[in-house]
Chain A
Amino acid sequence: MFAKRSVIGLYTDEEAAASALDALREAGYDQGEYEVLTGTPYPEGTFGEEEPKHTLYRWPLIGAACGFIVGLVLTSGTQLAYPLVTGGKPVLSIPPMTIIMYEGTMLGAIIFTVIGILIESRLPRLFMGAYDERITEGYIGVTVTTSEERVGTAEEVLNASGAEEVKRGWENN
């Protein structure tokens, strides 16, 4: 495991932050090395960043399938394990089974979606890296997480693109 250095530049307007990203690209930093941090959601592409890809839509489908199976096993299994024969009718009573299977399906879908949201959002994050509390007050942060040797250049690029302040942090990834 190699310790990585990270550096953050703080900007007050969107255009300056977008210019910082352009400058980082020109200086040879790739997509995975820099990030924009904001305290509010901006429309996608505000800073010229690439559209984040995700597979969140698969999660509820997997969860729903798991929930349905659990619901089916639970309802049929409990009736077969403790059969209550009523009026000579079949032991497995389908209409009430569908109610519990339906709830199981939805519960599975929701739980898996929430797990998916956290995993796809890369949460929980153990190392904050370079971060500044002013980001949630309206500042826009541009962070670069890179090797020890390249962090100095990143610092220069961020300063040159009009950062109000540049500071360092560290990561362990």
Chain B
Amino acid sequence: MQDHIQLDQKQINDDLLAGVLGMPKWWLPAVLFLTLVVFAGLGSFGYMMNKGLGVTGLNRPVMWGFFIVNFVFWIGISHAGIMISAILRLTQAEWRRPVTRAAEVMTVFSLMAALHTPLFHVGRPWREMWVFPYDFARGVWPNVRSPFVWDPSAVGTYLIASSLFVFIALIPDLAVVRDRAVNPLVKKIYGTMCLGWRGTPRQWKLQAVAGILLSALVLPVFVSVHSIVSWDFAVLIGVEGWHSTIFAPYFIIGAIHSGVSAVAMLMALSVWLWGLDKYLRPDHFDAIGRLLIVVATTWFFFFFLEWVFALYTLEGVEISLRELQVFQWPYGMLFLIFLATAFFIPVPMWMFKSVRRSAFWMFFTTVLVNVGMWLERFLIIIPGLARRQPFTFDWGTYHPSIIEILIVAETFAFVALGMLLFSKFFPLIPIFDIKEGMVVRDEIKIGRRIVPATIRE
């Protein structure tokens, strides 16, 4: 980190609580618009419940459409928080400080979005509770051999763990809001939420240990979640194109690619919307850009491997699936867009320092990555099912209906709305982490140059 801005604690409080204690002009219109989109999506869901799944584009043999594409996409985005927060925390990467909270909160909201997508998909959402082992009266229990029981257990664990992670790291900042709040009721609410935090050496020590311990515990859950989602595909007997043994690591690295890109998007938005340019410096964008080059290249390696496995065996079913993905309209066009946006446009651009250090270019390239990664899931699912194969007796294709498009839009609006509401009530950048960064920073003179340095125990 070459950028060095020394700020006192009062200044940090003022800057980072500006959104909580005040209200930016754009905030309310943005919230209202997103609420409208959420209600449009929920209204479509209500219509679909009333009329049945026939109002969607789902039909034999393509019974997994936009809803499951979206489910896998949001699970992928949710891997951002833990990748950024846990791994960077464990490796004591200094640049993590301003980005951890936003990444963790995005994990929570994207997991919520992911979790309610199967609710839409099943068509009879009131039967979703059958995956939970509650039925003492009828003696009917969930079948643990089904991947659809594994999913809620993994995603539920990840959601609980991420929410608790966010809460624990939020406690010291809630105390700052309590101390700054003017309204007695607001003071009381934040005082209750921060559980009477005072900032003793014991509490700070436990915070530090908690950060490391929870990071270490959440990481194995993070790995398991997308592995289990990939097994939803891999253990299906009927769809041969999904039997690749590398599905679990391929899905995980794809999730990290889209998730870390989403964090970079959030960083750029934080700079533009909340004016946090003092905290999110070009150095931070540079660091996440370098990380993205590594992640994207690893992801591309797995993508390449999956193709090698498919083509090297010369199995008819695999070849015909690839043929469908690459040469048939509209999948061929989508495949080209996917490759260009997920890898071939952003990665060469990230090689340039001027791109990595620019909020605008990082935003642009990471939006491209997420368009590409959404299409990647689409291209795995739809052509995989559309091809004629054992146990299906129809040729078919898939055209999403307006109902599905509105419901997908609802999930995007839901995550954006969640982030906006969170940012209104809680600081989006961890105040105590930034303050700690200031305490352990200094400038040292090496020869004729003064360079910023971080002191670590």
Q: Is the CB of A128 within 8 A of B206?
A: no
- Interface positions, chain B 329-353, Cβ under 8 Å from A, are none
A78 and B144 within 8 A (CB):
yes
B214 touches A41 (CB 8 A): no
A104-131 residues with Cβ-Cβ distance < 8 A to B are 104, 106-107, 109-111, 113-114, 117-118, 120-129, 131
Q: Is the CB of B9 within 8 A of A138?
A: yes
Q: Is the interface of B mostly helix, strand, loop or mixed?
A: helix
Distance A60 CA – B220 CA, assembled complex (angstroms) = 14
With contact pairs A60-B217, A78-B133, A106-B220 given, residues A117 and B199 touching in the complex (Cβ less than 8 Å): no
Nearest neighbor of B155 in chain A, beta-carbon distance: A103
Given that A56-B206, A100-B144 are contacting pairs, would A114 and B164 also be in contact in the complex, using a CB cutoff of 8 Å? yes
Q: In the complex, which residue of chain B has the Cβ closest to the Cβ of A137? A: B10
Known interface pairs A124-B195, A136-B180; A81-B8 also in contact (CB < 8 Å): no
Q: How far is the CB of A23 from chain B (nearest CB, A)?
A: 18
Q: Which residues of A contact B206 (CB under 8 A)?
A: 52, 54, 56, 117, 120-121
Cβ contact of B145, chosen from A54, A93, A136, cutoff 8 A: A93
Is A33 part of the contact surface with B, judged by Cβ < 8 Å?
no
Contacts of A43 in B (CB 8 A): 440, 457
A56 to B164, CA, bound (A): 16
Q: Report the bound CA distance from A133 to B190 in whole Å.
A: 13
**CB of B435 within 8 A of chain A?**
yes
CA separation between A166 and B223, bound complex, in Å?
52
Is B87 in the interface zone, CB < 8 Å from A? no
The contact of B432 among A40, A44, A51, A120, by CB within 8 Å, is A40
Residues B38-54 near A (CB distance < 8 A): none
On whether the beta carbons of A37 and B149 are closer than 8 Å, the reply is: no
Write out, one digit per residue, whether chain A residues 46-82 have a CB within 8 A of any chain B CB (1) or not (0). Answer: 0101011010110010000000000000110011011
Query: Within the complex, what minimum Cβ distance (angstroms) separates B171 from chain A?
Result: 7
| Residue of A with least CB distance to B138 | A82
**B203 at interface by CB-CB < 8 Å:** yes
Q: Which residue of A lies closest to B192 (CB)?
A: A124
Known: A40-B435, A110-B161, A136-B179. A123 touches B133 (CB 8 A): no
In contact, A100 and B153 (Cβ under 8 angstroms): yes
- Measured in the bound complex, the distance between the Cα atoms of B420 and A116 in whole Å is 31
Q: Are A122 and B203 in contact (CB under 8 A)?
A: yes
CB within 8 Å: A-B pair count? 178
Task: Name B228's closest neighbour in chain A (CB-CB).
Answer: A99
Chain A nearest CB from B370 CB (Å) reads 27
A123 in contact with B161 given A41-B432, A96-B145, A102-B224 (CB within 8 Å): no
Question: B196 at the A/B interface (Cβ < 8 Å)?
Answer: yes
What residue in chain B is nearest A140 (Cβ atoms)?
B199
The CA-CA distance from A51 to B218 in the complex, in Å, is 27
Verify A39–B157 contact, CB threshold 8 A: no
Residues of chain A within 8 A of B317, CB atoms compared: none
Task: State in angstroms the CA–CA spacing of A124 and B167 once bound together.
Answer: 14
Question: For window 204-258 of chain B, which residues contact chain A by CB distance below 8 Å?
Answer: 204-210, 213-214, 217-218, 220-221, 224, 228
With A56-B206, A99-B228, A125-B195 as known contacts, state yes or no: A75 contacts B9, CB within 8 Å: no
Pair B224/A103 contact, Cβ less than 8 Å:
yes
Q: Is the CB of B160 within 8 A of A56?
A: no
Specify the chain B residue showing the minimal Cβ separation from A95. Answer: B145
* Complex contact A136–B13 (CB within 8 A): yes
| Residues A99 and B13 in contact, CB atoms below 8 Å apart | no
Residues of A within 8 A of B213 (CB): 56-57, 60, 113
> What string of 1s and 0s marks CB contacts (under 8 Å) between B58-91 and chain A?
0000000000000000000000000000000000
CA–CA, A111 and B157, complex, Å = 10
| Distance between B440 CB and nearest chain A CB, rounded to angstroms | 7
Interface centre among B149, B204, B224 (most CB of A within 10 A): B204
Of the candidates B142, B195, B217, B457, the one having the most CB atoms from chain A within 10 angstroms of its own CB is B217
Q: Is the pair A39, B9 in contact by a Cβ cutoff of 8 Å?
A: yes
For this complex, 6 residue pairs linking A to B, each with C-beta atoms less than 8 Å apart, are A40-B435, A40-B438, A99-B153, A107-B157, A113-B214, A136-B13
Q: Name 4 extra pairs, CB < 8 A, besides A84-B145, A99-B150, A138-B8.
A: A51-B205, A99-B224, A106-B217, A128-B196
The 10 closest A-B pairs by CB, nearest first: A125-B196, A138-B9, A40-B435, A78-B141, A124-B195, A133-B179, A52-B202, A41-B204, A82-B141, A123-B195
List residues of chain B with CB under 8 Å of any chain A CB.
Answer: 8-10, 13, 133, 139-146, 149-150, 153-154, 156-157, 160-161, 164, 167-168, 171, 175-176, 179-180, 195-210, 213-214, 217-218, 220-221, 224, 228, 432, 435-436, 438-440, 457
